[in-house]
Amino acid sequence: MQNIRHPAVSGLFYPADQGVLAREVNAMLAAAHTSGVSPKALIVPHAGYVYSGAIAASAYAALKGVAPRIRRVVLLGPTHRVPVRGLALPGTDAFVTPLGPVQVDSAAAKVIAHLPQVVVSPQAHAQEHSLEVQLPFLQTVLTDFKLLPLAVGMASAEEVTEVLELLWGGDETLIVISSDLSHYLPYDTAKRVDGATVHSILELKQGIVHEQACGATPINGMILAARRHRLTPQLLDLRNSGDTAGPRDGVVGYASFAFTSSDQTG
């Protein structure tokens, strides 16, 4: 019998009904601007769909041209509920959403299992939303893929990059970094802070802190890897909850990015 990680935030962050969820995700993807790039990696927000779903959709819509060849998704997101040292594998065989199961890539897990910063923590994954909310988008855009989900806790950028290097693969492997930007700042302040964070990412400047992005650790690791592999980041969308579905006295920032080979145009 398979060891299953069941949904923790369906009905909260996104619809629990299969049909409603499928229609909502497809509608957001259809409304998203397609950028014409071929991403190797994405940075995508992870709030409730009413707040950040449209921004996330802009990243996943960018996969349209490369989706048929993607067979593995390496998904990294910060831990919000259970502290962990390093990068935590779930110790499960599959993640389930209302759209069905996604198999965990056990072969990929074995590739990184020897690293001291890689641990197994079902507890870190059990209630974590930063990874789960990405799955319905991936299930809708991709046809046949396995997932390597990593809940990132206390780690260095170099430790993240070491994991990414071992899993980098070729065109069959997509890397997704799940992160929101600033949290609960006034609207105008958030725009300034998030603008500076976006500039750092576009310039591949490491040193982003958690006040700028809850996923700062995997973002910094991705920046190092992008430098090594000569990837170019492109901003796809930048908004905050004050632009989408919330008040403006305390907002959460959201951005989506695509990282592509430097020789791409468009």
Do the domain assignments include residue 240? yes
Helix (H, G, I), strand (E, B) or coil at 10: strand
Do the domain assignments include residue 266? no
Do the domain assignments include residue 205? yes
Do the domain assignments include residue 169? yes
CATH number, domain of 149, equals: 3.40.830.10
Q: What is the DSSP string of 109-161?
A: HHHHTTSTTEEE-HHHHHT-HHHHTTHHHHHHH-SS-EEEEEEE-B--HHHHH
Give residue-wise pLDDT tens across range 36-68.
899 999 999 999 999 999 999 999 999 999 999
**pLDDT per residue rounded down to tens, the chain (266 residues):** 789 999 999 999 999 999 999 999 999 999 998 778 999 999 999 999 999 999 999 999 999 999 999 999 999 999 999 999 999 999 999 999 999 999 999 999 999 999 999 999 999 999 999 999 999 999 999 999 999 999 999 999 999 999 999 999 999 999 999 999 999 999 999 999 999 999 999 999 999 999 999 999 999 999 999 999 999 999 999 999 999 998 999 999 999 999 999 765 44
Residue 216 DSSP class: H
What is the residue range of 248's domain?
4-261
Q: Give the contacts of 263 (CB within 8 A, at least 6 positions apart).
A: none
Do the domain assignments include residue 67? yes
Do the domain assignments include residue 48? yes
- Residues 106 and 126: their CA atoms lie apart, in Å, by 18
Report CA Rg, the chain: 17
Do the domain assignments include residue 85? yes
pTM: 0.97
User: Could you give the number of structural domains in the chain?
Assistant: 1
